[in-house]
Amino acid sequence: MNTVGLALAEALHLIAGGDAKLVAIVALSLRVSATSIVVGTLVAMPLGALLAVTSFRGQRAAIVTLNALLGLPSVVVGLAVYLLLSRAGPLGSFGILFTPAAMVIAQAILVLPLIAALTRQAISDAWQETREQLRSLGAGPFASATALLWDLRFSLVTIVLAGFGRAVSEVGAVMIVGGNIDGVTRVMTTAIALETSKGDLPLALGLGFVLLAIVLALNVVAHLTREAVQRHHG
């Protein structure tokens, strides 16, 4: 059998086997990325929405900068967070380097520009259409931003999922700030990198398929939920 065939067999075997170690790694992956997404969304969505409904000097520069940050390499984010959290760094006294908390911080920073930029774009389009109406109702920037965020909540789910995809799939940042410690900070992506290092390519690719299956399952659930809710609302 070729490598891909072996990897598929390995993936099925891993999923069917319900290996305790694999379950723990998957759970940690989901937990770290879910937490970072909650943190990232709470900061980035209001930011993106406000950027869309207000106008101020330097706004275009801010928007261009935000969009450019989408290209931020995860390994750079990892390095910056590492230097911040290292004992020799400014936040070293908390001692959270090489813990899941450090991974959450790195991923939250990583997804922040993505969620903010996509939110800004979505809100900005809606703002063009409803601006007069909202103004005539006497809504200020905060009220307008809140109203539009609520109106667009179904589209925003897609943005959150995109952010989750970015967080759960990146390896550069969590490798540096988490250290890939067995049973403590080893997540799906760092486990894949490790197995690749060991030359166990079928197992590495098999883990990759497992990760893909999980992300796919999450997207299906989100999609179905959205459809059900929209149908309910008519």
Partner 1 sequence: MALTRRIVAALLLAVGTLAALPLPAQQRFIVVASTTSTEQSGLFGHLLPAFTRATGIQVRVVALGTGQALDTGRRGDADVVFVHDRAAEDRFVAEGWGVDRRDVMYNDFVIVGPKSDPAKVAGSKDVANALKSIAAAQAPFVSRGDKSGTHAAELRYWKDAGVDLAAQKGSWYRETGSGMGPALNTASSMNAYLLADRGTWLNFRNRGDLAILVEGDRKLFNPYGVMLVNPAKHPHVKKADGEAFIDWLTSPEGQASIAGYKIGGEQLFFPSAKK
Least spacing, CB of residue 36 vs partner 1, in Å: 9
Q: How many residues bind partner 1 (CB under 8 A)?
A: 33
Question: Which residues between 78 and 107 bind partner 1 (CB under 8 A)?
Answer: 86-89, 92, 95, 97-100
Site for partner 1 contains 201 (CB under 8 A): yes
State the Cα torsion 215-216-222-224 to the nearest 10°: -160
Q: Of the ranges 68-76, 108-116, 131-139, 174-182, which one interacts with partner 1 (CB under 8 A)?
A: 174-182
Q: Which of 184, 212, 216, 220 binds partner 1 (CB under 8 A)?
A: 184
Nearer to partner 1, 127 or 195 (CB): 195
Q: Contact positions toward partner 1, by CB under 8 A?
A: 30-31, 34-35, 38, 86-89, 92, 95, 97-100, 179-184, 194, 196-201, 225, 228-229, 232-233
